[in-house]
Each structure stands twice: as structure tokens, then as C-alpha cells.
Amino acid sequence: VCSSDLPRMPRAGEFIDGEVIYVGRNEVLVDIDGLLTGLIRGHEAYDESGEYNDLKVGDKITASVVEVENEKGLVELSIRQAGHKKAWDKLRKMKADGEIVEVVVLDANKGGLMIKLDQVSGFLPVSQLSPENYPRVLGGNKTKILEKLKSLVDKKLRVQVIDINDEEGTLIVSERATEKEERKKIMERYKKGDTVEGVVTGVVDFGAFMEFGDGLEGLIHISELGWQRIDDPRDVAKEGQKIKAQIIDISTNKISLSLKRLAKDPWEAIKDKYKVGDKVKAKVVKLHKLGAFVELEPNIQGLARTVDFSGKPDKEDKKWLEVGKEYDFVITNFEPVDHKLGLDLA
């Protein structure tokens, strides 16, 4: 017999095809080309790709060779290794194709969600959640954030694979990324300077979120909520409130909006009305460690620095003021273009 006519023996590490001839509780026997018998035992029968999760006699499979001949004289095989390669090759293709897939949320921690994609466990960071599922919590309370994330457990989410490393077993997915293309098309309808109408979806310490158009959401920073000094956005914006705003910046990742740009700058109207040295009446609206914020006219506020408001003067030359009362002041600094007004008690 010519040596070239003899069947080639499998080598450790390579993948071979076979047919299942026996399925036991802890082992599976595989016929290899009618010449050899392969053995898959224990956890080596676990298939990460999910293709061979319910093996039965007659099934055709691909397995990797662990050992050419084990203590029983059989070829030691592993579906686990073959399945791992197949599963992660599939994930790599999903990432390359930008495919949108469905995952199940298994659990949550403060950083995000544990998910399962096919048979592979992965992670969905909080930062990659869609606006709909992002946990906006007053004051950033971590316990409440976790409660909101836990409410997503057992739900199915549509995601894209954004990072993968099979050697480290790292799979990162993004819900936000799935909206990118659709969002891009919607955003092409808008440009900087456009006025949009929508609803306030959330109010936080640094501003208010507003939804408009077909699910677009932008931030109105606290500095853009009004021409007046605003210490708490909740004083001027309420969740569910219908408002109009102007787009002041727009990109794929961020939309910045403004309420005050739709109103006339009140400083423009008073630029020629006052000058340094003028004596004026103004109402104290807020006490501060630097002085007192006073209102000269509606939405025109300045800082009076040379005051003490401990309640009582601790020295005869100290002065003190009360919120809500009017006092006589002298303008010490007036820069209407930069919205700066400095005063001193008259």
C-alpha cells in the first residue's frame, strides 16, 4: 500500500469534522471519517457559539483536536475551543459590518449592564445607553442610578458591537451606536441657528435636557437658560414643559441649545442708560461670600462687593443687606457688552 493512500492522522490544535454517534451525560463520541473515534467530555462539550447546544446522534460537527490519542486510545476533542473561535469570529464580523443585534440584560452594576449576545457574555457601559435608557438622577445619586439600571434586567436591547478581544474575553456593546445612522439622517435636517420646539425631558444641576424633532435631544446649559443669573435650572425649567430653543451647536454626538438667544439681550437696551458713578436703586436678590447680587432692572444683575451680611455689623464701618430690600448704590463698573455690573452702597 502506498503511504500516500493512508489516511492522514489529525494533529493537535487543528479542526476536524465528524458525526455524533453517541451522546451521554458527560461525554460525546464522534465518528471521524469512519476510521477514528473522537471523545468530547465534560465542559469541552460547551459551545460558546450556541450551534451545538443540543447535540444528538447523527449531527455533523466541527471540533478541535486536543490530543491525538488519549488514555482510551481515542482522539480527544473539544467543541468548546472550536465554538469559542466560531463565536468570536462571528462577533468580529458583527463589529466590522456594524450589524445591529439583540441582547438580553443579565444584571447591572453602577458602571453599566451585563449582557449576553448569543452565548457570549459582554458589557454595556452606562455611557453607551440610549437617551431613553440613560439613568438621569437628581444630584447623581449612585444608589438611584443603580436602581434605574436594575430595572433594565431581563429586557432585550438592540445594540452594536464596539469593542472585542477574545483573548481577554472582552465584549463591549453600545445601544447608543445603533441610533447613530438614523440620528445622523434626522440631524441633517437641522443647522446652527434654527429654532426648534420640544419638551423638557430632564432638569439637572448644570442645565435642562430638551427633546425635539424625531427623538433628538439637546442640552440647554444653565448659562443659556436666561439672561439673568440662574443658580438652579429648576427655577426656570420644569420636566414636561413645552418650550422653544435655538440650536447654538450641533454635531453627531452633541446638540447645544439656548433659550436666552430667542429673547432680546436686555443689556443692549441699557447700554447708554447708565455709566460709572451713577447713583441707582437696586434690589438685593442673593447674598454671596463675595458680596450681594442686586437687580438693577429685570434680568439686569450686578455684584455689590463691599458689604457684610452676617446679620449684624461686627464693626461700625461694616454694612449689611437683606434679600428682597432696595438700597441706594453707586455704579463702580459697567460693561454691558460683557454683561458686567459692579456696584457699591451709596
Q: 127-131, 134-138, 197-201, 273-277: lowest mean pLDDT where?
A: 134-138
State the pLDDT confidence band at 134, using cuts at 50, 70 and 90: confident
Q: How far is CA 299 from the centre of its chain?
A: 35
What confidence score (pLDDT) does residue 235 get?
A: 86
Range in 232-236, 316-320, 330-334 the model is least confident about: 316-320
Other residues' Cβ atoms within 10 Å of the Cβ of residue 286: 14
User: What local confidence, expressed as pLDDT, does residue 5 receive?
Assistant: 54
Mean pLDDT along residues 6-18: 81
pLDDT at position 131, please? 82
Provide the grid cell at 47.
459551545
Distances (CA, A) of 127 to 180, 245, 253: 14, 26, 12
A 10 A CB-CB count for 316 gives: 6
Instruction: State pLDDT tens for residues 68-83.
Output: 999 989 999 988 887 7
* Pick from 251, 253, 262, 248: nearest CA to 192: 248
Residue pair 207/219 in contact by the 8 Å Cβ criterion: yes
Asked if the model's pLDDT at residue 308 lies above 70, the reply is no
Q: Considering only residues 140 and 204, tell me which one the structure prediction assigns the higher pLDDT.
A: 204
pLDDT tens for 213-239 read 878 889 999 989 988 878 889 988 998
Q: What is the mean pLDDT of residues 162-168?
A: 86
CB 39: neighbour CB atoms within 10 A?
19
Question: Helix (H, G, I), strand (E, B), or coil: what is residue 150?
Answer: helix
At residue 167, the pLDDT reads 79
Considering only residues 214 and 16, tell me which one the structure prediction assigns the higher pLDDT.
16
The per-residue pLDDT for range 102-115, each reduced to its tens digit, is 999 999 998 899 99
Is 173 in contact with 160 (CB distance < 8 Å)? yes
Write down the mean pLDDT value for the chain: 85
The number of beta carbons lying within 10 Å of the beta carbon of residue 106 is 13
Residue 316 confidence class, pLDDT cut points 50, 70, 90: very low
Higher per-residue pLDDT: 203 or 3? 203
Whether residue 311 has pLDDT greater than 60: no
Confidence of residue 22 (pLDDT cuts 50, 70, 90): very high
Among 81-90, 125-134, 161-170, 315-324, where is mean pLDDT lowest?
315-324
Is the pLDDT assigned to residue 255 strictly greater than 50? Answer: yes
* Single pTM value for the model: 0.45
pLDDT given at position 1 = 42
pLDDT computed for residue 319 by the predictor: 55
Left (φ > 0), alpha (ψ -120 to 50) or beta: where does 282 sit? beta
| Element containing residue 220 per DSSP (H, E) | strand 216-221
C-alpha 319/C-alpha 337 separation (Å) is 30
Report pLDDT digits (tens) over 288-300. 777 888 888 888 8
Residue 49: is its pLDDT beyond 50? yes
